[in-house]
Copies of this chain bind each other. A is one copy, B any other.
Amino acid sequence: MKTPDHMTRPILRLSPKRALLLLTLCLLSACQSMVTPGDPLPSWREGPRKQAILDFVHAVTDTASSDYVEPADRIAVFDNDGTLWAEKPLYFQLIFILDRIRTLAPQHPEWKRTEPFRSALAGDMAALGKQGEKGLMQLMVAAQSGMTTAEFRTIVVDWLDSAEHHRFDRHYTELIYQPMLEVLAWLRANGFETWIVSGGGQEFMRPWAPDIYGIPSQQIIGSMMEVQLDQRDGKPVLVKIPKLHLIDDKEGKVIAIHRFIGKRPIAAFGNSDGDLAMLQWTAAGKGRSLKTLIHHTDATREWAYDRKSPVGRLDKAMDIAKTRHWVLVDMARDWKQVFSFQK
């Protein structure tokens, strides 16, 4: 075998002066991942909440600190709806489901006469609310089963490309919180693995969340429907079948964290009572941990809601956050900017 040319040549020929320049560049590039130039959380106003997040990250990454945590154990979990992106007036996935029911209606003339489809097609949210969780589940299943997982991905992508949020005339994927994007990026720059642990559908998030949040599909956990292995044109496919597999909410989030990660997170971010169990699970770890709740207090730039909201209710978790001195982010006060398009 002929030895390739580059293996016999000296790696570089350069003058000492040029070497000094190159060395400087080389060192600067090596240092890049350690030094954060300026403020890592520019959309956060100075104050106790920002400081608590900064202090926590410094403490667990400083090898001289008694709170130091090995990179392999730097697990941070994030709820999605109301924590990374907005959830009003309805969870965006529910809007997707209602849109899809309308799209499918011509193939199901019987839907005009049967609940919960009748109310869904009429856009009668009050009547739909009376159908309860069971009704919602029926819509969910009708809208999201019968196709392959690849087909479902296309359906989600197409909807996100065309649908717009009525209040902001923006795509739903633009309604993400700029300050949280900075937290995600800064945690990753400090060796954290960032995970989504959402009550929303895993397969609804995976088509867009990797690009939008920088979180790969294998770190996205959500509610799941059953799938089954089938054959189409001699090739294996996974088909979504009309049965729920897992509701990733409340204690379901703790169970999912155990199954998917197998390590206790040291940082958890949520915004509702559905995240309480996950934050308590994080708090029950041995070392230092960060428990953060986003309190929606900004009716001008976003929405203001908490104890009485049917979507994203923050009630019991808020009381516990106050008692335990968790980080309770006041959106109006703590965030200079909410959405990136609101600069």
Contact of A16 among B20, B26, B258 (CB under 8 A): B20
Contacts of A22 in B (CB 8 A): 23
Contacts of A280 in B (CB 8 A): 236
Given contacts A19-B19, A19-B23, A259-B202, is CB(A254)–CB(B238) below 8 Å?
A: yes
| CB-contacts of A179-194 with B (<8 A) | 193
Contacts of A235 in B (CB 8 A): 284
Q: Is A224 an interface residue (CB 8 A)?
A: yes
Chain B residue nearest to A26 (CB atoms) is B26
Give the docked Cα–Cα distance between A72 and B218 (Å). 10
Give the docked Cα–Cα distance between A17 and B262 (Å). 50
B19 and A26 within 8 A (CB): no
Copies in the complex: 2
Chain B residue nearest to A234 (CB atoms) is B284
B284 and A255 within 8 A (CB): no
| CB-contacts of A19-33 with B (<8 A) | 19-20, 22-24, 26-27, 30
Chain B residue nearest to A153 (CB atoms) is B262
Contacts of A281 in B (CB 8 A): 229, 236
Mostly, the A contact residues are helix
Contacts of A23 in B (CB 8 A): 19-20, 22-23, 26
Contacts of A14 in B (CB 8 A): 20
Residues of A within 8 A of B (CB-CB), count: 42
Give the docked Cα–Cα distance between A273 and B17 (Å). 63
The contact string, 1 if C-beta is below 8 Å from chain B, for chain A 125-165, is: 00000000000000000000000010000000000000000
Give the docked Cα–Cα distance between A284 and B217 (Å). 19
Contacts of A238 in B (CB 8 A): 254-255, 258
Q: Is A48 an interface residue (CB 8 A)?
A: no
B27 and A27 within 8 A (CB): no
Q: Is A168 an interface residue (CB 8 A)?
A: no
Q: Is A171 an interface residue (CB 8 A)?
A: no
Chain B residue nearest to A226 (CB atoms) is B255
Q: Is A261 an interface residue (CB 8 A)?
A: yes
Give the docked Cα–Cα distance between A11 and B20 (Å). 12
A262 and B220 within 8 A (CB): yes
